[in-house]
Structure 1
């Protein structure tokens, strides 16, 4: 798997976290092809606010955005055929995550980990627009994070 993490913002707070390992853990558990490619980007509030407005029509910063490349419906490459499966890009706002730690009583690492898993699940086809979809996605997030914590 090709996992690119761009620490464009708050490098010192993020580089010590096992984000590459968590990403790989989730992608394996979600049975993504071995040639899967994903990028994770950490940005300032202003950048994610611009993206949020441009792509979702919402004003202000959000915590995480996911941008799918090769979709589930596009089909995955056959195992061993050498094709790269470009899952997509995730953009996370660490300052939003830091503010959420106060609201939810979590640590910064817990919040970043949740946002990363959330973004990856979106790229894997999960959504939370409808209540039943949200329940499935939130349950899967909790399962993955609990399993990750046990390792």
Structure 2
């Protein structure tokens, strides 16, 4: 999978987070092929407010926007005549300053908030939505499931690494 990350804002804080790993985890969870391509951009409040106004007709910054390229279920091999055409799933744009404000509102950490926004944005690219109540329930449940699995995986890796360090001494 090709995960392109553009740190236009708050690069120092964001580079320490496992953005690419989480993106691959989500796309794998959703059975996207290995030739899937996604871009993730972290932008200022002003930049996301401009996108929000232009594409959604809403004023002010939002936390995350998703822009679909190829449909989540498209078979591009026939179009390009190849088995392994790139599936350009789309772009996720996140406003880290909005995420920071939301940590105070929801009692989360910066990493937890960025992780939730990333999962949310990627699920939109995978075809999920939350316009109707039943869709919202399904999407929120899936977000929770993915984040719980991701956290358990990270915890297990930390334990394994710690045990390896202890044995090496």
What TM-score comes out, normalization by structure 1 length? Answer: 0.96
Matched, 1:141 2:143: yes
Cα pair distance change 1:126/1:76, threshold 3 Å: farther
Matching residue of 1:114? 116
Distance 1:9 1:96 in 2: 12
Query: Mind listing any 5+ residue stretches in structure 2 that lack a counterpart?
Result: 154-169
What's the CA shift string for 1:27-85, capped at 9, x where partnerless? 0000001100000000000000000000000000000000000013533548x812000
Distance 1:117 1:9 in 2: 19
Distance 1:11 1:94 in 2: 10
Cα pair distance change 1:46/1:83, threshold 3 Å: same
Matching residue of 1:131? 133
Q: Aligned to 1:87, what secondary structure does the other structure show?
A: strand
What's the CA shift string for 1:2-35, capped at 9, x where partnerless? 0000011100110010000000000000000110
1:1-151 correspondence runs (5 A): 1-75=1-75, 77=77, 81-151=83-153
> Which structure carries more helix by proportion?
2
What TM-score comes out, normalization by structure 2 length? Answer: 0.86
Structure 1 stretches of 4+ moved >4 Å: none
* Higher alpha-carbon Rg: 2
Cα pair distance change 1:77/1:30, threshold 3 Å: farther
Query: Mind listing any 5+ residue stretches in structure 1 that lack a counterpart?
Result: none
Q: CA RMSD in A?
A: 1.3
Are the aligned partners of 2:39 and 2:90 in contact in 1 as well (CA < 8 Å)?
yes
